[in-house]
Structure formats: C-alpha cells, structure tokens
Amino acid sequence: MHMNLTNPENFLHYHLKPTLADCTPALRLALNALRLGETNRLIFPRDEYHFYADEAEEKFCFVSNNSEGLKRIAFPLTGIRNAIIDGSGSRFIFHGRICPFHLDACQQVTIRNITIDYERTTFSQGEIIECTDQSISIRLPPEDSYFFQNGRIWFDGPNYLQGSYGGPYHRRDAYVHTLEFDAKRREPAFMARDCYRVPAHSFSETPDGLLKLNIEYPTPKPHVGNILAITHDHRDLFGICLNNCEKTTLESIVIHHAGAMGIIAQRSTDIHLVDCVVEPPPRHNRIVSTFADATHFVNCRGKISIRKCQFRNMMDDGVNVHGIYSPIKRIISPTEILIENAHHEQAGIQVVDANEEAQVICNHSLLPKGFLDIKSVTMINRYHWLVELNKPLPEGTQPGDCLESLHNTPDVNIEYCQFSSNRARGILATTPGKIRITNNYFHSAGSAIKIAGDANSWYESGSVKDVCIQNNQFQDCGYGIWGTGIIAIDPEIRPENHSNQAYHENIRIENNCFFTFHKDLIFARCVQNMVVQHNQIESSQNYPPKQQTFDYQKLVNCTNVASQFS
C-alpha cells in the first residue's frame, strides 16, 4: 500500500492506494499516525483493498455474546479521538481468520463508506438433492471446499481453515449447525428448525460428489431443491466491535459477511448508525450474511440511534439491545459479594461500576429487592468479580439473586429501517431507557419485535419503562419458529413466580400495519400499562396456514391494558 501526505483544510490525509497484495502492513503505518495524533483523517480512494490475517496485529478480546479469545484485527484502534476513517465507497476484502475493526476506548470516531466482505465465509451452502429419514445429500459449489481427516469433515478454502489460524485444529469444532433456506424466496424455509450440533464425523461423500449428512433431520424435513446452510465456525470473527467507546458514528457501512456479529458494541456511549446495510452481496448466490446478529449492544449508555439501515439474511437477530444480570455467587459479608458472569459469552464483561448505583433482582420473578451503592469492583478472573458496597445488602438478598446496573440503560431510537429474510427476530430491545421503534419494515421469520429479560439462560436485562412502537409495517412475520407473536413481550418468568408487580410497563403499540397469514399478533406477559390502538390488520395468503395459538392478542399476568384492532 502506498501513502501520500497532504494537508488541505488543516487535516493530514493519508491517501492509501489499492493493491492486490496484503494491505495490512502498510495500513499499520497509517493507523500509527492516528495513534500519534499526526492525522485525524484516513481516506481510501474508492477501490478494492485486501487484508490478510498473516501479519495482522493480535489482541485478546472479551466480546459479549460472541467468542472471547486472541483475535487478529486489521484496524485495531485504541484510544483514538476525533478521527474519521472514510472508505469513499471502497470494498474491503478480508482473508482468513481476521476481524475488520476493533475500537477500544475511542472517542468521537466516524467510520463511513466501506463495504466489508470475506474471500471465504464461515459458512457453506448447498442445494438439497436428496432427503430421506436417515440422511440428506447436498451439492456444494466449488468455492465451499472441504476435506476429510481422521474420520471427520473440515471446511477450508483460500486462506481459511475451520477453527484454526494455521496451527492445530480447535477441539470444539467437532460439530456444525445447519438450517434450511427457501431457494426461491431466499429466506429461512417455512417453519424450518435449527439442526444444532451435527457431528462432523456424520458427513461423507457420495461417489457422484455429493456431500451427505448421515443424520435423522428434525421435522419438518428439508425440501429437495432448497438450500442447506452449514455454519462451521463459532462467533469468533466480528465485523466491527466497539468497547468502552464514546460518540461513535457508523455511516454507509455495508457488511456482506462477518463470522460473528456484524456490529457489536459493549460498555459504549452514544452510538449512531446511519445508512448501514447487512446483507449477502448482490448478484451472488450466497444465502447468509452474518454468522449471528447484524447489530448488538450490551451494557451501553446514552443514545443508540439506528436510522435508514437494512438488515437481511442474518443467522440471528437484526438489532439486540440489553444489559446483563450477574448472579450473586457468594455473600462474603453484608458489604462484600462475589458475582459471576453466568453465560460463557459474557466472559470478561464488567457489569457494574464503582461509585454508581445498581439493584438486586430476584432471579425467579426478575423483580427488584433493593438498591446498591457500589464502592469498588475488582476482577478476579474473566467470570468472577468482587464487589464492595458502601451500605449493607438489601434485606432478603441471597445467592442466585442478580445485580443489574442502573446506569447502563441507553435510550434507543430505530427508524426507517428494514428487517427481512433472517433467522430469528427483527429487534430485541430490553432497556429501561426510552425505546422508539417507528416507520420500519419487518419481514422476519420469528417475532418482528421482542421485549424479553431473563436471569436463567442468557441473563439479558432489563425491564422496559417507556416504549413506543408506531407506524411500522409488519409483512408476513412469524413464518418460522422463533417467537410467541409478531410482537412478543415475554420475559422469562415462570407462572409460579408471577407477581402483582409487573416487570415491563408503559408500552404503546399504535398506527401499525399488520399484513399477516396468521393471528398471533401480540403476546404480552407481566406488563402494566399497555395501549394497543389504531393498528390495521390485513390478511395474507403468502404462506401456508400454521397452527394458531391465539387471536390477535394474548395477555398473561398483565394489568391496565387497553386494546383496539381494526
């Protein structure tokens, strides 16, 4: 990569010229100029740039809801302030096990006008040629290469080897996951089920070159002619990660593939996404965009704004915003406790902070037991934290109860966005801050919008206090298995733990259009003060009938609900 130095408008601009070779070493020089404050703007002339894992910097990363570990990163940005990285519409192609962007403790950074893709994706796909009770045979394209070794399959390709930086294979890669996609609609097949943990030793190759999965596939059986997507890696290779950042803008970013989440932000403040797209590359046969969620926000603060974005064909949700519940593992004294990050993909993520308030919640009812004044937080290891308090624990606190930050509660505004053709849901929003979901289009296999909260599985907090879902269009949502309703407000609270006190409150669902082939519209559990009004419902015949569970609305342990459908 070649660099020229100019100084128009009091900015130092690095103009980075494209090359077919690895741009990573030259990029490292330009990024060093950002770190030293010699420039605050990095501009790429519009072209195609290639970045390889071989000489990329390594950094051990704790990434919530993704896989922790030592990662190679093309753009490792730490402590950068007031900087712009502008791709001018360029394509960045990544080769091997490399993450594009990792921002740590950066302030006022803008990344814009960049398309991200990989030479070899972390999934493969093939046309279903034959399906029996005992096996499925598929035809993979030449670019989705594989080999057999020691009685099992390994997926590989140019500069890519499943679960490896070129050294020993990871033992955890003994399984792959599969999902059927409709070849004509280019979306998850109607009511298709995830087939998790397919043993790598269950694959074989037929004499005519088909790849055969020797398993009893879950019902409904896949259809001949459809596409079987095989994800053969883990949530290792995020697209863009923000950690402890402030005032970040991502503008006109296109992500065609990431081997984890497209955009993941944690413990960051004020994040703005404008005109961003997550989708497979156009004019290409690939059926999957990102390995997991398009965007994900954990324990963030301030405002999260997502405007005019498009999220398609992910293997998980479009947007997920939540905090973290950390269970109390041990009460050492009335003012000292040991807490843990209970889900393995929350490793290393600090949940509460010194000199701030938190609350204790019951892990069964999810209701608060009292407030905490945090004196200090000490990391013991990636899963355990020692928390010292200024005042004694609330009465009745016991091991198993959870801590929740009262400060990592961002406001969320999502407007003029499109969510379609992806596995799972459109939006998950679980935060006490103001939530505004307006003027969006949804065509999700599962629930279009889910408001949850749980302290027993993913440990994602917290209770909503002010939600407006308005002027959205819901087009044939719920054609898959992921959700209890097109809008699902379903915290994970077992019936025996229901209380007179609601978990979620103050939700308005109004002036939306539901074009639907079923009547499972709104499911709500443990909600107080909900208004459903001026919503239009039109019948659709675009999908086969599916089993009805309720008509339009189902309420479980809810109070003060006013509903009107037209």
Least confident of 34-38, 58-62, 512-516: 34-38
d(CA 294, CA 444): 13
Residue 32 CB burial class (10 angstroms; 0-12, 13-18, ≥19): exposed
Percent of the chain whose predicted confidence (pLDDT) is above 70: 95
Give the pLDDT of residue 21: 86
Q: How confident is the model at residue 164 (pLDDT cuts 50, 70, 90)?
A: confident
Assign 1 a pLDDT band (cuts: 50, 70, 90): very low
pLDDT (tens digit, 9 = 90+) per residue, 498-553? 988 999 999 999 999 999 999 999 999 999 999 999 999 999 999 999 887 899 99
Would you say 111 and 101 are in contact if contact means Cβ atoms under 8 Å apart?
Answer: yes
Give the pLDDT score at 14. Answer: 53
- Digit-coded pLDDT (tens) for 490-503: 999 999 999 889 99
**Alpha carbon distance 300, 298 (integer Å):** 5
The pLDDT value recorded for residue 146 is 96
pTM as predicted: 0.96
**Range 237-252 average pLDDT:** 99
Question: Does the structure show a pLDDT above 80 at 166?
Answer: no
Q: Buried (b) or exposed (e) across 47-69, using 16+ Cβ within 10 A?
A: eebbbbbeebeeeebbbbbbbbe
Check residue 168 and give its pLDDT. Answer: 64
What tens digit of pLDDT does each residue of 327-378 get? 999 999 999 999 999 999 999 999 999 999 999 999 999 999 999 999 999 9
Q: How far apart are CA 139 and CA 233, in angstroms?
A: 20
Q: What is the mean pLDDT of the chain?
A: 94
Residues in the chain: 566
Give the pLDDT score at 11.
28
pLDDT of the residue at 565: 80
Q: How far is CA 185 from CA 89, 254, 307, 464, 560, in A?
A: 29, 22, 26, 35, 41
Contacts 24+ apart (CB under 8 A), 196-203: 198/230, 199/152, 199/174, 199/175, 200/152, 200/153, 200/154, 200/173, 200/174, 200/175, 200/176, 201/151, 201/152, 201/153, 201/174, 203/148, 203/152, 203/153
